[in-house]
């Protein structure tokens, strides 16, 4: 026998259907609680419960005095989900590292195809700043900017959101990792060279050697963290 839907599920299905039918689009305010309650024949508490769930998973956001609107903030949801997996010991660095390599390799291949000249020029500027910087915290920020710029240039929003979420989770749960990677001048130099090669190959639209440089970058990080370098 088919399960009867709970009241909050009716509200969620209604909003999802409106999104599918493009009656609600990104940035548009959804109807007030009272209006949804009356239209769907459910209590306002059920409407609030549905809106709370949709907010948690990133479908809607709220502004004080402006109500709820369609936001598509799924990256925050991913960060929360991955964080819980870390806390519950269902996820570790090796697993994050493995999926990150796969996604970054694909992002690089797509960036070779789709990156605009000005995007590559920005990456080159980051590489120059990384080379000139003497501050480890600044180097960490520039390192992240280079990888973010490559992911953004892939023009794949899903890859970008997942990689950003993975990066944020790693910063929280493996906070000593970046400090360890930059601990010696030799390591800094090797990582700088790999970043330089990645961006140069991107400029030449050379996907093979660019991915080789990216793979060497991640292999180097593995060796550092395993005390082999």
DSSP secondary structure letters along 1-47? -PPPPPHHHHHHHHHHHHHHTTSS-TTPBPPPHHHHHHHHT--HHHH
Pick from 16-30, 83-97, 111-125: least confident: 83-97
Contact 166, 151 (CB under 8 A): no
Which residue ranges does the chain devote to CATH 1.20.120.530? 87-225
Half-sphere exposure of 227 (CA within 13 A, CB side): 0
Across residues 45-56, what is the average pLDDT? Answer: 91
pLDDT tens for each residue of 52-105 = 989 888 889 887 777 899 988 888 888 888 888 888 888 888 888 889 999 999
- Going by pLDDT thresholds of 50, 70 and 90, the confidence category of residue 175 is low
205 Rama class: left (phi>0) / alpha (psi -120 to 50) / beta? left
Domain 7-72 has CATH 3.40.190.10: no
Which residue ranges does the chain devote to CATH 1.10.10.10? 7-72
| Residue owning tokens 């590489």 | 127
Instruction: Indicate the helix (H) or strand (E) that contains 210.
Output: helix 207-225
Domain 87-225 has CATH 3.40.50.1460: no
Q: pTM surpassing 0.85?
A: no
What three-state secondary structure class fits 188?
helix
Proportion of the chain above pLDDT 90, given as a percent: 53
Across residues 145-172, what is the average pLDDT? Answer: 91
């Amino acid at each position: 026998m088919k399960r009867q839907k709970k009241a909050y599920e009716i509200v969620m299905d209604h909003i999802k259907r409106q999104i599918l039918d493009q009656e609600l689009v990104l940035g548009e305010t959804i109807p007030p609680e009272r209006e949804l309650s009356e239209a769907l024949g459910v209590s306002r508490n059920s409407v609030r419960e549905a809106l709370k769930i949709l907010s948690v998973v990133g479908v809607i956001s709220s502004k004080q005095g402006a109500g709820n609107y369609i936001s598509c903030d799924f990256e925050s949801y991913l960060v929360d989900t991955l964080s819980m997996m870390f806390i519950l010991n269902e996820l570790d660095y090796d697993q994050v590292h493995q999926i990150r390599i796969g996604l970054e390799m694909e992002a690089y291949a797509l960036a070779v195809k789709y990156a605009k000249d000005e995007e590559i020029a920005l990456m080159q500027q980051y590489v120059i700043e990384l080379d000139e910087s003497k501050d480890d915290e600044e180097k960490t920020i520039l390192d992240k900017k280079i990888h973010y710029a490559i992911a953004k240039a892939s023009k794949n929003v899903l890859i970008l959101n997942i990689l950003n979420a993975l990066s944020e989770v790693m910063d929280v749960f493996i906070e000593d990792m970046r400090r360890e990677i930059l601990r010696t001048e030799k390591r800094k130099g090797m990582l700088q060279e790999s970043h330089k090669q990645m961006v140069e190959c991107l400029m030449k639209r050379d996907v093979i050697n660019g991915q080789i440089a990216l793979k060497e970058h991640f292999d180097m990080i593995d060796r550092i963290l395993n005390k082999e370098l």
